[in-house]
Structure 1
Amino acid sequence: MSESHGPLKKTPLNAVEKELGGKMVDFGGWELPVQYSGILEEHEAVRTKAGVFDVSHMGEITVKGPQALEFLQKTTSNDVSQLTDGRAQYTGLLYPNGTFVDDIIIYRIAEHEYFIVVNASNADKDLAWFRSQQEILDVAVVNESANWAQLAIQGPDAEKKLQPLTDIHLSKIKYYRFERGNVDHAPAIVSRTGYTGEDGFEVYIAPDHAPKLMKKLVHEGVKPCGLGARDTLRLEAKMALYGNDIDDTTTPIQADLAWIVKLDKGAFNGHDVLAKEKADGPPRKLVGFELLDRGIARHGFKIVEGGKEIGVVTSGTHSPTLKKSIGLAYLPLDKSAQGSEFTIDIRGKEARARVVPTPFYKRAK
C-alpha cells in the first residue's frame, strides 16, 4: 500500500469499517481497510456468495453542456457516441502522445450530461486535465466527488442481497447499464459494473446514507471486503490497475486494451500514435503469466534475459481461486506470444514463468 504525508483522508464509511473490524491502512492518502476477516475468506465470499467494498475514495466528475459529447470524443479513446441514456463505457482518458491520464468509466445521464468515475489517486489530475482541454467548447466540468459515496456489491448473490433494499428492478439492468432510483430510501445511481470478474453492482449514494446501507448489507450476510481481496479478484479477472499495469508511460494498445480504442470515430488525443501502434505493433505488450517455479512476482520485479532487463512485472499475487502464482507483465512484442517462457528476478533468484491466456478467471455465465 502506498504511503503519503499529512493526515489521511477518510471516506464516509470509515467509522463503520472500524466497527466491523477493518484493518486500516494508508492507501494513496486514504485510510481504508486492507482486510476484515482475511483476504482469502473475503475473496472466496465474492467468488461464491457476495461481498461489499467501500469505493468511496473514487472521484466523480460531471461533464455537461451542448458540446459535452464532442469534448469527451476528443479527450477519450472509446466512442462515446455509442452511449445512450443509462449506458456506461470503460475508456482511456489520454494525453496527446497516446498514454493514459487515467482509465475511467463514463455514464451517460442525458444527451448533454455525463457522469464520470475516475481513480482516487488521479482525481485532481484528471479534473485539471479535462479543464485544460475545454478550450472554447461549451461544456462545464464539475468535481462532484464530495457529493457521492460508492459501495460495490459483488458476487453471484449480489442481486439477491441488494434487491430488497431498492425500488429499482435489478434484473432489468444489463452489464454496463445503470438506473437511477432509491436505495435504502435514498436517491442513488445503481450500475451493473465492478472490478472483480463477478456479477455485481456499484451503488452511488449520498455520503450520509452510505454507513446505514453498508450496515444493512452486512446484516443480510454480505461480507465486508478490503483492498487486499479487491486486488486478488481484479487480477484474476485481468482488470488493469492504474499506477501498476497502466500509467502515463503506457498506451491502451501496449496494455492489451485495443478494444477501448476506436480509431474510426475521428480525431482524439493520441489518435495517430495509436493508429501506428495498431498497424505496426507496439514495442511491448501487457501479458498474463503464471510462475513455473515457487514464489510470487510483485510489481516492479524485472524480467531478465542474458543478464539484461527486457521487461517488468506490473502486478502479481497467489491466485486464491486457481491456487497458482499469477501476474501481469510487459514483454517485448516478439516475446509476448502465449506459451512463451521467460525469467523473472525475484529478490535475486531467477524464477521461470510462462505467458498464458487471460483473463485467468472467467465466471460461468
Structure 2
Amino acid sequence: MTDTPRTTALDAVHRALGATMTDFAGWDMPLRYGSEREEHQAVRTAAGLFDLSHMGEITVTGPEAAQLLDHALVGRLSAVAPGRARYTMICDAEGGILDDLIVYRLTEQDYLVVANAANAGTVLDALTERQPGFDALVRDDGAEYALLAVQGPEAAGILKGLTDADLDGLKYYAGLPGTVAGVPALIARTGYTGEDGFELFVSPGDAERLWQALTDAGRPVGLLPCGLSCRDTLRLEAGMPLYGHELTRATTPFDAGLGRVVKFDKPGDFVGRAALEAAAERARSNPPRKLVGLVAEGRRVPRAGYAVLDAEGGVIGEVTSGAPSPTLGRPIAMAYLDAEHATPGPAADTGVGVDIRGTKEPYAVVPLPFYQRAR
C-alpha cells in the first residue's frame, strides 16, 4: 500500500486550471497546464508562475546559528549579510553531496535553509545531528510556508504593481520582507530558470490569494501558470544541476564543476573537509571527468543514463539530463565525460555520440550553459 502524496495549498487551483498532476518526491504537483513548450517560452519571453511549495524550509536560529552552518555546510554562511542569500551544499564526511541548498540570512541570528523536496528530511536530519555543541536551534518549518515563483523578463514589472518593496534595489540572491498584494512575504530575487525572477515565501493560507493576484497582474503581459516539466527544460538550458542527476551522494562539488561553493578559508572545521580537500586536488591535477553540454546534430533525444561514446564506440561518459530544447530547437543534454574527451567541438571533430537505443547519434560537446539571458 503506497502513501498518498502530499498536496500544496494551491492544489485546488491547479486542478481548476486543468493541470496534469504527477507524484514528485511524495507531493502531488502540476506537471503542465497545457503546452510545455508554451509554458517554457512564456518564461523566456514574458513570465511564468510556479508553485514550489514542495520545497523544504528549515530554520536555523540562535546566537551560534552562523557557526553551526559554517560547520554543517561547505559554504561560509557567517559571511552572508542579513538580507542576502547563498547557494551552497551539504556534504557527508566522504565529500558526497547530500543536497544543494539556498540559504537566506534573515537577521543576525536567523537563517532559512531551503532544500530540495526529495532531500528535505535528509537535510533536516543532518543539520540536527550536527547541532550539538552549538547554541542554535534547528527547526522544520516546511508547513509554515507556501512558495510561489514568478520568473521571466516581465517578472519585475508584474511584481512592482503589487508591492511597495524596493525591487530595483533588490539584488540577485537577496531577500527582503514586504507585502505582495497585501500578503506578508519574504521576497527573494532567486530562481531556477536562467531568467530574472522572484520567489515569494508566504503563509499557506495566503497562497491562493497571491496566486490570483499575480495571475491577474501578469495576464496582460503574457504570464502563464507553469509546471515542473518546463521548469526542468528551463534549468537544463541554463546549465543548472538537478539533485539525483548531476548531483548525487557519489559526486563531490568538484566533480560537478562547482568547487567554488566550498570555502576552505572559513574558521573552524566543517563536515567533509578532508575528503573535499582531496577532491579539490584531484580536480586540479588529474580530473577524472568533467560535466559538459551536448547538443544533438539530429532529432533523437537523450535521457539520463544513456551512454556517451567516442569515435570507436567506447563508453566515455553518461548523460545525466536530456530533453528537447525549445530555445535551441534541438535536443540537448548534460553529461559527465572522461576529461580527455570533454574538449568542446562538433561531432565530426570529436567523434562523440550518444547511444540512443542501440544507435550512436552524433552530438557536439559544448560549454555550459546552453542559454544565458541578456543582462
What is the alpha-carbon distance in structure 2 between the residues aligned to residue 38 and residue 73 of structure 1? Answer: 43
- From 23, 28, 42, the equivalent of 1:45 is 42
2:354 maps to which residue? 344
Aligned-partner SS, 1:316: strand
Aligned partner of 2:97 in structure 1 is 100
Farther off after superposition, 288-297 or 233-242: 288-297
Aligned counterpart, 2:366: 356
AA in 2 matched with 1:72? L
Q: How big is the shift at 1:280?
A: 2.8
Note the 1:192-341 alignment, pairs <5 A. 192-220=189-217, 221=219, 222-266=223-267, 267-281=269-283, 282-305=287-310, 308-339=314-345, 340-341=350-351
> What is the deviation of 1:283?
2.3
Residues 73 and 268, structure 1, Cα contact 8 Å, conserved in 2: yes
Deviation of residue 279 (structure 1)? 2.4
- Provide Cα deviations, 1:20-47, integer angstroms capped at 9, x if missing partner: 1211111122111111121110111111
- Normalized against structure 2, the TM-score is what? 0.93
Give the secondary-structure state (helix, strand or coil) at the position aligned to 2:340.
helix
* Contact 1:303-1:313 within 8 A present in 2 as well: yes
Whether the 8 Å contact between 2:183 and 2:210 is mirrored in structure 1 is no
CA deviations on 1:195-233 (whole Å, 9 max, x unpaired) are 000000000000010111112222221210001110110
CA displacement at 1:156 relative to structure 2: 0.5
Report the Cα distance in structure 2 between the residues aligned to 1:341 and 1:328, rounded to whole angstroms: 17
**Shift in Å, 1:330:** 1.0
**Aligned equivalents of 2:327 and 2:313: distance in 1?**
34
- Segments of structure 2 that go 5 or more residues without pairing to the other structure are none
Aligned equivalent of 2:132 = 135
Q: 248-257 or 145-154, which moves further after superposition?
A: 248-257
Secondary structure of the corresponding residue to residue 10 of structure 1: coil
Matches within 5 A, 1:12-31: 12-31=9-28
In structure 1, C-alpha distance between the alignment counterparts of 2:308 and 2:153, rounded to whole Å? 37
Partner of 1:85: 82
What is the DSSP-based 3-state SS (H/G/I as helix, E as strand, rest coil) of the residue aligned with 2:38?
helix
Matches within 5 A, 1:109-120: 109-120=106-117
Q: Distance in 1 between matches of 2:108 and 2:352?
A: 49
Identity percentage over the alignment?
A: 44
- SS of alignment partner, residue 265 of structure 2: helix
Judge conservation of contact 2:316–2:341 (CA < 8 Å) in 1.
Answer: no
User: Which amino acid counterpart does residue 338 of structure 1 have in structure 2?
Assistant: P
Which stretches of structure 1, 4 residues or more, deviate above 6 A after TM superposition? none
Instruction: Pick which of 30-39 and 142-151 moved more.
Output: 30-39
> Residue 212 of structure 1 aligns to a residue in which SS?
helix
- Counterpart Cα distance in 1 of 2:272 and 2:338: 21
C-alpha displacement of 1:272: 2.4
Residue 98 of structure 2 contacts residue 249 of structure 2 at CA under 8 Å; is this kept in 1? yes
Q: Helix, strand or coil: the match of 1:265?
A: coil
How do 1:112-191 and structure 2 match up within 5 A?
112-191=109-188
| Uncovered stretches (5+) of structure 1, i.e. residues with no partner | none
By how many angstroms is 1:11 displaced?
0.5
Q: What is the identity, as a one-letter code, of the residue corresponding to 1:6? A: D
Counterparts in 2 of 1:293 and 1:108: CA distance versus 1, 3 Å: same
Deviation at 1:262, TM superposition (A): 1.7
TM-score (normalizing by structure 1):
0.95
Distance (whole Å) between structure 2 residues aligned to residue 117 and residue 28 of structure 1: 15
| TM-aligned CA deviation for residue 172 of structure 1 | 1.4
- Cα drift, residue 278 of structure 1: 2.3
What secondary structure, in the 3-state scheme, does the structure 2 residue paired with 1:77 have? coil
Partners of 2:171 and 2:308 lie apart in 1 by 40
Length, aligned pairs only: 362
CA distance in 2, matches of 1:178, 1:293: 43
Q: Alignment partner of 2:211: what SS? A: helix
Contact 1:16 1:215 in 2 (8 A): no
